[in-house]
Homo-oligomer: A and B are copies of this chain.
Amino acid sequence: MKTLLIVAHGSRRESSNEEVRELTARVSDNASLAVDEVVVAFLEFASPSISTAMNNCLAKGADEVVVLPYFLSAGNHVVEDIPRAANAVLEQWPEKGVTILPHIGANVAMAQLISGSC
C-alpha cells in the first residue's frame, strides 16, 4: 500500500490550512491516482505534523510513503526540514520506504498551469 503525503508549510490563518486540506481531498478523489491514499501534513501552525501523519499511515499498513513538498521554491523547508522529518520517522520503520518528490514548484507543468491562468 502506497500513500501520498502532501506536506504544506501551514499558516496561522486557519482558512489557509483548510484550503490545503480541501485540495488534498480533491487529489484523493482523482480516480487515476497512482497511490492508495492521500493525506496532508503541516510543518508549522497546523496539524497533523509529518511525524504524526507518517506514523498513522505506516501503522495502518502503508508500505511506502511518497512525500510531496507543497512548496513553490526550494528553501530550507524543502531542502532540509522535510527530508529530515520524514527520514526520522522511517528510522522507526526499517521495513518501510519513503520517496521524497521534488517540490511542486519544480514540476515542469507549472509553467503551463500559469500560462493557463491568464
List residues of chain A with CB under 8 Å of any chain B CB: 4, 6, 8-9, 11, 13, 15-17, 19-20, 23, 26-27, 29-30, 32-35, 66, 68, 70-76, 101-102, 104-107, 109-118
Q: Which of A34, A74, A109, A118 counts the most chain B CB atoms within 10 A?
A: A118
B113 touching A73, Cβ below 8 Å = no
| Shortest beta-carbon distance from A16 to chain B in Å | 4
B75 touching A72, Cβ below 8 Å = no
A107 touching B113, Cβ below 8 Å = yes
B115 touching A13, Cβ below 8 Å = no
Given the complex, which residues of B lie within 8 Å of A35, measured CB to CB?
A: 118
What is the bound-complex CA distance between A96 and B28, given in angstroms? Answer: 42
